[in-house]
Amino acid sequence: MPLAPGTLLNERYRIVSILGQGGMGAVYRATDENLGIPVAVKENLFLTDEYARQFQREASILASLRHPTLPRVGDYFQMGDQGQYLIMDFIDGEDLRQRIERVGTLSEQEVVLIGVSICDALTYMHTRTPTVLHRDIKPGNIKITPGGEVLLVDFGLAKVVQGEQATTTGARAMTPGYSPPEQYGTARTDERTDIYSLGATLYAGLTGVIPEDSLARATGKAELTPIRELMPRVNRKLASAIEKALEVDPDDRYQTAADFKLALAEAANLHELTQKRPMVSPPPPPPDDGDGNDNGNGGDAGGDAAPAVGLPRRKSISRKRRESPILRILAIALMVVLGSGLGLMIAYPDLPKAALANLGGTAGGNSPGAFEPTQTIPVIPTETLHPTGEENLTQAAIGSNDSFTATPTTGTATETVAITPSATPLGGGMGQIAFVSDRTGIMQIWLMNSDGSNQVQLTSENEGACQPNWSADGTKLAYISPCRRKEGTYPGAKIFILDLASDSQPVPLPVPPSPAGDFDPAWAPDGKRIAFTSLRTGRPHIFVYNLETSNLQELSATRYFDRQPSWSPSGMQIAFVRTVVFDQIWIMTDTGTLNEQFTVSGDINNQMPTWSPDGQIIYYSQVSDNNVKTWLTALRYEDRKTFKEFRIPAENVGAYGPKYKPSISSDGYYITFECWPDGNNHDIYRMAVNGSDLVRLTTDPGNDFSPAWRPSGN
């Protein structure tokens, strides 16, 4: 759990508030009571040897950097088994994400000055020995102080490059649109990776729109929208400079940050301003609530303190435009109309109510077209580390992944029911948990609060139901039936959708009929697609059904057995289980391309993958010794294809019994799973993601299994 305000760390740092949180820990604002100054405190809760070393390495990297555009590290320490803590400068002001949301789009001069400032920081980092890469540049990680200074913050994903070796610090995932394709695993990252991310950040600042994601562009699913198509009046040289930084192929980008800086300065003819440290307009002063506390933009030392950029991903944005005579005339006319309307309202106070009644509305009602805040964009993981130990299979070895569009076969028709695609917000908090129980004599789906209270039965299928999976808004539940017992595959099963927001009966997923069996449903974050395992081709393969287009696509058309799909929070990747002698976790794109092995655990079966809400970690079950020993394991996306996986709780810590089928709460702090300490009766348990705070949630003599945390939909 996050540290409470007032907590004193290391007898020196008093926690004031939480700035942000993720799967590995949180970032806090605190007060250094020895010096009486504000500081930022970054926390790591995973204290396995590897993660502890990497977090300490991050502290060492930051402590070695001395540049006016970078924050400084003041302290580092570990408090027993509680966690590690990094003390950094507290950077007051607003981040670039907040500025873009506040003003809509930035001026060309401001974009250039921000770009030049970050290029200076990157040149310093990239020319050090050894080279330091940032690898997470985005608007939320660029701070603008009250004095107008620009700083690059958050080195949680930084990397030190020594020759051909790469040392990665504590890892975090990135925001779609800002990471180049090599961070998805297409190649190694280098200085040009930072140049791409800076180009994407400047693109967003200039247009107010996040550029199309690089993975989608690299796989031919999207093209970069030219800047002048969005903003026709932008300087051609500036647009070209930014677009060059956004090239998919690293060889086509600027090769150094100094080259990018020169191109930006030449495009805007601002050589004189860029010779010294550039300054931009300061943010407005924060509002004062009367007690002297800052309730405005605040400040921090890292991007963990700010959510993902809430910019639109399409062209429908509001922009500031140059004032014209026509606009001034319209403004005057509008003032006259408003003045006349005010006079009528004073003379006839009941006029608005009468007008609304005549239009069929109600006074004070909510408009169905009212604006709703944009949702935080889930982040996606990054960076390939070369495997150690076992040799991995190549794409050539696993065969073709060509997809196809399935068409219904002739024969007896199956009832087809339209299912409305679901919304996609990922909520926080602990919420509720769906699970399967045979306590009534047959498998059915149940629902309970996350503390185990209020257990209620949701399904009443004559032949049983199991494998619950939630839509991202938490209103719909996918499950399969028949389900007479717990199995690895379910021949003859169908997928059903239960809408908990209505009193309607469950309806079958309207896929082309197949008597073979469809199971392992997994709802995509966009609410429009459901991935599942099907036996319709003769062996278990992953399929995706689009609820909007009614298109069925086979993603894993290989000779291997593939099952148990799990969507990444971005909806652009799917983790799944592939059987190659043993079960291993693999990853592919949402179109079935770029198959990549994730785990290299040897003669152990890895099953039931599930992503952390920030895309940083994949949790899964490990089964060994002829399915006798079972435990929960996790591996950061950053460490894929390595042996850096870790058990939860740590090995030899707490004899909790076998653990299987993890599900993560929407806030990323808790795991629920099935456990059978007595070797027989299965129940649902809950614990923190670091293995502490174990709680047993069900105690029924029947078997309870397959928990699925319900998103809160906030």
Let me know: does 76 contact 85? Beta carbons within 8 Å: yes
CA separation, residue 582 to residues 575, 644, 648 (Å): 16, 19, 21
Task: Provide the pLDDT for residue 628.
Answer: 66
Let me know: does 61 contact 88? Beta carbons within 8 Å: no
**Residue type at position 211:** P
- 160-185 pLDDT, tens digit per residue, is 554 544 444 434 345 678 989 888 77
42 among the known binding-site residues?
Answer: yes
Task: Provide the pLDDT for residue 533.
Answer: 96
- 513 CB-near residues (< 8 Å, 6+ apart): 408, 409, 411, 412, 413, 414
* pLDDT above 90 for 532: yes
Q: Mean pLDDT throughout 583-594?
A: 91
Cα gap 131→154, rounded to integer Å: 17
Q: Between β-strands 646-648 and 659-664, what pairing exists: parallel, antiparallel or unpaired?
A: unpaired
Looking at the domain assignment, is residue 703 inside a domain? yes
Task: Provide the pLDDT for residue 570.
Answer: 87
Q: Mean pLDDT throughout 64-91?
A: 88
- 682-691 pLDDT, tens digit per residue, is 999 999 888 8
Looking at the domain assignment, is residue 312 inside a domain? no
Q: Which two tokens stand for residue 697?
A: 């949630």
H/E segment holding residue 63: helix 49-64
Q: Helices 108-126 & 236-245, crossing angle to 10 degrees?
A: 30
Let me know: does 92 contact 40? Beta carbons within 8 Å: no
Q: Mean pLDDT throughout 462-478?
A: 94
- 596-619 pLDDT, tens digit per residue, is 899 987 789 999 999 998 888 999
39 three-state secondary structure? strand
Q: Which two tokens stand for residue 665?
A: 């709460």
Distance of CA 319 to the CA centre of its chain: 27
Task: Provide the pLDDT for residue 105.
Answer: 93
H/E segment holding residue 636: strand 629-636
Task: Provide the pLDDT for residue 632.
Answer: 93
* pLDDT above 90 for 199: yes
pLDDT band at residue 420 using 50, 70 and 90 as cut-offs: very low
Torsion of CA 267, 268, 269, 271, to 10 degrees: -100
Range of the structural domain that residue 197 is part of: 104-291
Q: How big is the chain by its Cα radius of gyration, in Å?
A: 27
Q: Mean pLDDT throughout 17-44?
A: 86
Of 140 and 391, the structure prediction assigns the larger pLDDT to 140
Let me know: does 689 contact 671? Beta carbons within 8 Å: yes
* pLDDT above 60 for 18: yes
Torsion of CA 254, 638, 45, 3, to 10 degrees: 40
472 three-state secondary structure? coil
Q: Mean pLDDT throughout 254-266?
A: 94
| Domain's final residue, options 238, 262, 291 | 291
Cα gap 386→188, rounded to integer Å: 9
Looking at the domain assignment, is residue 625 inside a domain? yes
288: left (phi over 0), alpha (psi -120 to 50) or beta: beta
Looking at the domain assignment, is residue 633 inside a domain? yes
Would you report the helix, strand and coil content of the chain in percent, each value rounded to 5?
20, 30, 50
The per-residue b/e assignment along 292-309, b for 16 or more CB within 10 angstroms, e otherwise, is eebebbbbbbbbbbbebb
Cα gap 323→528, rounded to integer Å: 42
* pLDDT above 90 for 13: yes
Q: Which two tokens stand for residue 199?
A: 């180009």
* pLDDT above 80 for 34: yes
Q: E strands of 68-157, at which residues?
A: 73-79, 83-89, 91-92, 94-95, 131-133, 142-144, 150-152
Looking at the domain assignment, is residue 97 inside a domain? no
Q: Which two tokens stand for residue 17?
A: 């508030």
Could you tell me the CATH number of the domain that includes residue 171? 1.10.510.10
* pLDDT above 80 for 276: no
Backbone angles phi, psi at 504, to 5 degrees: -70, 155
Q: Which residue has the tokens 């974009």?
A: 111
* pLDDT above 60 for 300: no
Let me know: does 648 contact 690? Beta carbons within 8 Å: yes
Q: Mean pLDDT throughout 12-30?
A: 84
H/E segment holding residue 227: helix 227-230
* pLDDT above 90 for 479: yes
pLDDT band at residue 403 using 50, 70 and 90 as cut-offs: very low
CA separation, residue 529 to residues 478, 492, 542 (Å): 12, 22, 13
Looking at the domain assignment, is residue 200 inside a domain? yes
* pLDDT above 90 for 110: yes
Task: Provide the pLDDT for residue 713.
Answer: 58
Q: What is the tally of structural domains in the chain? A: 2
Low-confidence winner among 101-105, 107-111, 187-191, 343-347 (lowest mean pLDDT): 343-347
* pLDDT above 90 for 708: yes
Task: Provide the pLDDT for residue 402.
Answer: 33
Q: Helices 351-358 & 325-347, crossing angle to 10 degrees?
A: 110
Let me know: does 449 contact 429? Beta carbons within 8 Å: no
Cα gap 500→477, rounded to integer Å: 7
Query: What percentage of the chain reaches a pLDDT higher than 70?
Result: 73
What's the mean pLDDT when you consider all of the chain?
78
Looking at the domain assignment, is residue 399 inside a domain? no
Please tell me which of 78-82, 380-384, 417-421, 470-474 the model is most confident about, judged by mean pLDDT.
470-474
Q: Mean pLDDT throughout 453-474?
A: 94
Q: Which two tokens stand for residue 181?
A: 């394709």
Q: Mean pLDDT throughout 269-277?
A: 62
pLDDT band at residue 187 using 50, 70 and 90 as cut-offs: confident
Cα gap 695→693, rounded to integer Å: 6
* pLDDT above 60 for 85: yes
Low-confidence winner among 100-104, 340-344, 621-625, 635-639 (lowest mean pLDDT): 340-344
130 three-state secondary structure? coil
| Domain's final residue, options 268, 291, 314 | 291
| Domain's final residue, options 291, 324, 341 | 291
**Closest of 518, 617, 525 to residue 567, by C-alpha:** 525
* pLDDT above 50 for 356: no
Looking at the domain assignment, is residue 520 inside a domain? yes
Could you tell me the CATH number of the domain that includes residue 597? 2.120.10.30
Query: What percentage of the chain reaches a pLDDT higher than 90?
Result: 45
Task: Provide the pLDDT for residue 303.
Answer: 40
Task: Provide the pLDDT for residue 268.
Answer: 82
